Amino acid sequence: MPELSQVPDAKQPLPIWGQSGQRVKPGLYVVATPIGNLRDITLRALDILSAADVVYCEDTRVTGRLLSAYGISKKLERCDEHTEKRRADEIIAAIRDGKIIVFASDAGTPGISDPGTALIAACHQANALVSPVPGPSAAIAAMSVAGVEQTGNFLFLGFLPPKSGARRRIFHDYLSLDATLVLYEAPQRIKEMLSDIHEIIGPREIIIARELTKLHEQFYRGTPEELVLEIDHANFKGEVVVLILPGTENETAWNDEKIDQALTAAMADLSLKEAVAQVSSQSGISRKIIYARALQLNRHET
């Protein structure tokens, strides 16, 4: 319960008390919202939304629907990736004026592959209070049911570049990381992504979590090659999280240095093609990657 000394005089507007009895101080509240199932919203998020003077959001129609489902009526202002920098000044001024400001994206946690970062940085710069109201995030929801035994480590990469070359370079960089890679991707690009994973990473276990918390929630598990065959790409719709599980100890221990050493040793006795095949089978890393390194080694030697 609030302490007596905190109760303002009768002429002042009533302070807002959260469920926990904490006073909601003026500041920017970064509120996570459902990623599909409307019931996935915390009591505290509803408290703060009810207490807000203004709710800034990516799309006023989307957040408006959420608020009306919970009987909350608020002033909504659009604030998306194009406007958040511009909006920052008025939001900071409002906080200085004692206002409670909420920022929400369309779904999930703001700032996680979503707008919010520039606004939040501007508020920090201005020494305004910034406070998280945690809740759903598709990446965490997918990881929570992955049942990954090898390691609890994961690396969130969000959306990768749409161009295959740039994507492949990233896969190559993280090839030997002993952690699950967590990616967001549009359904129409899944097939292309799977074939890049197949080419660069090889037969690693993949989980695709589709439409989490929604009616048609579905999980696919298999190697990239198996999933390309299993998924009906023409009808593959909805939102997805892609998890690339860590390789075996053997695979992850094969960094560039170790590949180069093995290639140098193999190429002393074998042809380049034979050496690539041998190191690829020893390491479990695709021939394409090993071949690229072998060419580089050859170039350095000549």
* Residue ranges that bind ligand SAM, judged by CB under 6 A: 35-36, 105, 107-109, 112-114, 137-139, 184-185, 209, 211-214, 239-241
Q: Which amino acid is at 212?
A: L
Separation of CA 296 from chain center:
34
If you write DSSP's letter for every residue of 247-260 in order, what string do you get? Answer: --HHHHT--HHHHH
What is the nearest approach in angstroms of ligand SAM to the Cβ of residue 113? Answer: 4
Residue 207's contacts (CB-CB under 8 Å, 6 or more residues apart) are: 142, 146, 219, 220, 221, 242, 243, 245
What is the nearest approach in angstroms of ligand SAM to the Cβ of residue 94? Answer: 24
Q: How far apart are the C-alpha atoms of 162 and 192, rounded to whole Å?
A: 10
Helix (H) or strand (E) holding 63: helix 60-69
Instruction: Choose between 56 and 291: whose C-beta lies nearer to ligand SAM.
Output: 56
Instruction: Choose between 46 and 138: whose C-beta lies nearer to ligand SAM.
Output: 138
Instruction: Choose between 145 and 229: whose C-beta lies nearer to ligand SAM.
Output: 145
CB 258 within 8 A of CB 297: no
Instruction: Choose between 107 and 197: whose C-beta lies nearer to ligand SAM.
Output: 107
Q: How far apart are the C-alpha atoms of 280 and 273, rounded to whole Å?
A: 11
What is the nearest approach in angstroms of ligand SAM to the Cβ of residue 109? Answer: 4
Residue 185's contacts (CB-CB under 8 Å, 6 or more residues apart) are: 159, 160, 193, 240, 242
CB 157 within 8 A of CB 182: yes
Instruction: Choose between 185 and 196: whose C-beta lies nearer to ligand SAM.
Output: 185
What is the nearest approach in angstroms of ligand SAM to the Cβ of residue 37? Answer: 8
**What is the strand order of the sheet 54-57 is part of?**
75-78, 54-57, 100-104, 27-31, 130-133
Q: Nearest 5°: CA angle at 270, between 267 and 273?
A: 85
Helix (H) or strand (E) holding 48: helix 43-51
Instruction: Choose between 82 and 273: whose C-beta lies nearer to ligand SAM.
Output: 82
Burial of 203: CB neighbours in 10 Å, binned 0-12, 13-18, 19+:
middle
**What is the phi-psi region of residue 238: left when phi exceeds 0, alpha when psi lies from -120 to 50, beta otherwise?**
left
What is the nearest approach in angstroms of ligand SAM to the Cβ of residue 141? Answer: 7
What is the nearest approach in angstroms of ligand SAM to the Cβ of residue 36? Answer: 4
Instruction: Choose between 186 and 229: whose C-beta lies nearer to ligand SAM.
Output: 186
What is the nearest approach in angstroms of ligand SAM to the Cβ of residue 31? Answer: 12
Report which residue's Cβ sits closest to ligand SAM.
108
Instruction: Choose between 116 and 202: whose C-beta lies nearer to ligand SAM.
Output: 116
What is the nearest approach in angstroms of ligand SAM to the Cβ of residue 122? Answer: 19
